[in-house]
Amino acid sequence: MMETKIKSSQETLQRVSSISEMKKVSQTLRKQNLIIGFVPTMGCLHEGHLNLVKRSLENCDRTVVSIFVNPAQFGPNEDLDTYPRQLEIDIAKLEAIGVDILFHPTSEEMYPENYKTYVQVNDLTEHLCGKSRPGFFKGVSTVVLKLFNIVQPHNAYFGEKDWQQLAVIETLVKDLNLDVVINRVPIAREADGLAMSSRNRYLSPQERQAALSLSHSLKKARDKIRQGTTSAKEISHLIRQYLLEEKGAEIDYISICDPENFREKEQICDRTLIALAVKIGSSRLIDNCIIEDF
């Protein structure tokens, strides 16, 4: 935590859409020895995003938020065209909490004609979401590296709901010697426990209720483990049974694994990640929890 927060002199949110302009803005801030915080998003902002932004505002001199629906991380049959977009509403939310800069490039700006370069983090991306969403993490790694190079932040903020994605980004930063500190922020949940997600808005009232099965099943798993059950197979079976009680729930994966390398465990006897991906209606939802208090 910085002792003195240098407030922005701007009265309104500065909007930047070109890469060259964003670079100039960041270079100017760095020359002034101001600490730049950065929150990359795909927009449709909810309180989970805003928690990340507030963390940056608390700890950095200037905060940049990007809104860019990254086509490189969507597969052929995924929801790129229908992914929720509400730019003006997002801008109002960012202005309300005092964000300094919005970087909102177009796809053509980020991926011009004849674009050919992509970044791949190996091993970590072969598990969990990487199995069912081929190419997803290549798209994530590529756009995050591009955004880091453009925005030039000192600190970047990511939520732990996307645990695997966060691990991939941390590895990217370490392996490529990037000068940015990755800050982890706990999962933001609705009052009833549902993990916040932009895709939650797809849910009908009945599906919204069914979606609670993810967080509820994780709680049941934690309780069972605290009662002494250490078999990963037994805990996975418990979660599966609970999820399938909801009509229309389609399980992508239930993983009980090492939280750093995502290799599956047979016994839960040290720090463990339980991660879920479940399709409810048209929405693919993820959630997770860490088991470490034995």
- In the structure encoding, which two tokens stand for residue 14, read together? 């500065």
State the catalytic residue, choosing from 46, 49, 104, 127: 49
> Per-residue pLDDT for the chain (294 aa), expressed as one digit of tens each?
333 344 444 458 999 999 999 999 999 999 999 999 999 999 999 999 999 999 999 999 999 999 999 999 998 878 888 788 999 999 999 999 999 999 999 999 999 999 999 999 999 999 999 999 999 999 999 999 999 999 999 999 999 999 999 999 999 999 999 999 999 999 999 999 999 999 999 999 999 999 999 999 999 999 999 999 999 999 999 999 999 999 889 999 999 999 999 999 999 999 999 999 999 999 999 999 999 976
Active-site residue, 49 included: yes
- CA dist list (Å): 167 to 30, 47, 62, 162, 198: 27, 22, 25, 9, 21
Are the C-beta atoms of 82 and 121 separated by less than 8 Å? Answer: no
Q: Which pairing describes strands 62-67 and 14-16: parallel, antiparallel, or unpaired?
A: unpaired
| Domains of the chain from N-terminus onward | 14-185 (3.40.50.620), 198-289 (3.30.1300.10)
- In the structure encoding, which two tokens stand for residue 205, read together? 């009232």
pLDDT digits (tens, 9 = 90+) for 227-242: 999 999 999 999 999 9
Are the C-beta atoms of 23 and 66 separated by less than 8 Å? Answer: no
* Helix, strand, coil percent content, the chain, rounded in steps of 5: 40, 20, 40
